[in-house]
Amino acid sequence: MKIGRVIHNLSQGDKTLYIALISVFLPYPVTAVVLVVLGLSLWINPKSRTLLVRNRINCILIGTFSLINLIVGIIFGNWFGIMAACAFLLIITLFEYSQAVMTSRLFENILSLICIMSILTTCSAIVERLIYIKLEKYRCASFYLNPNYLGCILAVSVCVCAYKVIARRGNPMFFYCVALFNGIGLYLSGSMFVWLTIFICLSLMLMLFGEHQFLSIFMIIASVLMLIISAAPDLIPRIDETVFTTENRINIWKTAIDALGDYPVFGRGFFAYYFIQPGIPGAYPTTHCHNIILDCLLNFGVVNSIILLVYLFRYYSLIIKCHDISKSKRISSFLIALSIAVIVHSMVDLTFIWIQTGTLIILIMSGIT
């Protein structure tokens, strides 16, 4: 009864964002269905539609960006790219709405819910590993399409735990325990680069929050761990695959660079690399360029890449502006640190661009309204 009353007392905006967030930690087909239902309902409902179009410049930018991508996808017959463009529009719809309804209280509650739900994700990864315990190099994926997505989800949850501790927004022991427990899930995912993502985010957060003493301690601990890993590299899963992975990345980047000149103005739509790769001899088979810059240029061309940059510039200008306001500095510091960590990660992999990881990121980034 008490839980029922709490749910009943939630605003429509609260319910929408909580449902979207919970779906991130469920099997990805569920996330897809939830995004479609929420996205359509937000446009159908007059009140939420009013919130979505409150920023006309953003509407024009996203509308133009999406329309060009749909037309390009149809021209080239890139049907997978068309589906991705629709998914992108749904996620951006949720992003615009969440910025309109977000409050400081709701933001903190969402971050707490991320930490709680991540526990269930790690538990599912542990169960999965026990099921496949005979497979020595098995990588757990939990409810996600592949293990790297699991690694990204848990990496973000660890960064959220760190924010909660550094900003003193709850019981620090709870968030320490959640972060350590999620370390098990990260290890089971076998995702290598997420550890650097966590390191960058935590380092920047400690610096931006002015916690210089803790930053020094953190750097010492990180240095010791690096020495241990150097002495015993087998402690990190797949470390022996580093050379092979690097060679594959170079192959992908060369293929993408060679293809940029074919359609430089409008690109070929979302997942252009996946679309063109079968027709290029020797190209490494994968879904994207494993580099955010190359992927944008190959997918969207110069025109749509500029439109996307203008949209992001408007958003980050707001974050920087809020960073100068004392009451918003706590949140903006976290978002700046997380953004830089995600951008660095996206230079070698694009696992943050997926319906689950993307939805999680935009819900967090909505903390600045």
* Confidence at residue 123, expressed as pLDDT on a 0 to 100 scale: 96
Q: What is the DSSP code (8-state) at residue 284?
A: P
**Residues 3-54: pLDDT tens digits?**
566 666 778 888 899 999 999 999 999 999 999 999 999 999 999 989 988 8
| 133 phi, psi to nearest 5 deg | -65, -25
For residue 341, which amino acid is it?
A
**Residues 113-167: pLDDT tens digits?**
999 999 999 999 999 999 998 888 889 989 998 899 999 999 999 999 999 999 8
* Confidence at residue 7, expressed as pLDDT on a 0 to 100 scale: 66
Q: For residue 139, what are the CA distances in angstroms to 155, 182, 190, 198, 352? A: 16, 15, 6, 20, 18
Task: Judge whether 348 and 192 are in contact, CB under 8 Å.
Answer: no
How far is Cα 275 from Cα 253, in angstroms, rounded to an integer? Answer: 15
How far is Cα 201 from Cα 334, in angstroms, rounded to an integer? Answer: 8
**Which two tokens mark 148?**
């790297």
Instruction: Using the predicted structure, report yes or no on whether residue 86 has a pLDDT greater than 70.
Output: yes
How far is Cα 32 from Cα 269, in angstroms, rounded to an integer? Answer: 20
Please give the average per-residue pLDDT across 248-272, as a whole number. 90
Instruction: Using the predicted structure, report yes or no on whether residue 350 has a pLDDT greater than 90.
Output: no
The residue to which tokens 């966590």 are assigned: 198
**Residues 192-232: pLDDT tens digits?**
889 899 999 999 999 998 888 888 888 998 888 888 877 77
| 264 phi, psi to nearest 5 deg | -75, -20
Instruction: Using the predicted structure, report yes or no on whether residue 260 has a pLDDT greater than 70.
Output: yes
Question: What's the alpha-carbon Rg for the chain, to the nearest Å?
Answer: 21
Q: Kindly report the average pLDDT of the chain as a whole number.
A: 89
* Confidence at residue 326, expressed as pLDDT on a 0 to 100 scale: 60
The predicted model scores a pTM of 0.92
* Confidence at residue 368, expressed as pLDDT on a 0 to 100 scale: 77
Task: Judge whether 209 and 333 are in contact, CB under 8 Å.
Answer: yes
Instruction: Using the predicted structure, report yes or no on whether residue 1 has a pLDDT greater than 60.
Output: no
Q: For residue 10, what are the CA distances in angstroms to 50, 109, 360? A: 20, 12, 20
Instruction: Please tell me the number of Cα atoms within 13 Å of 124 on its side-chain side.
Output: 15
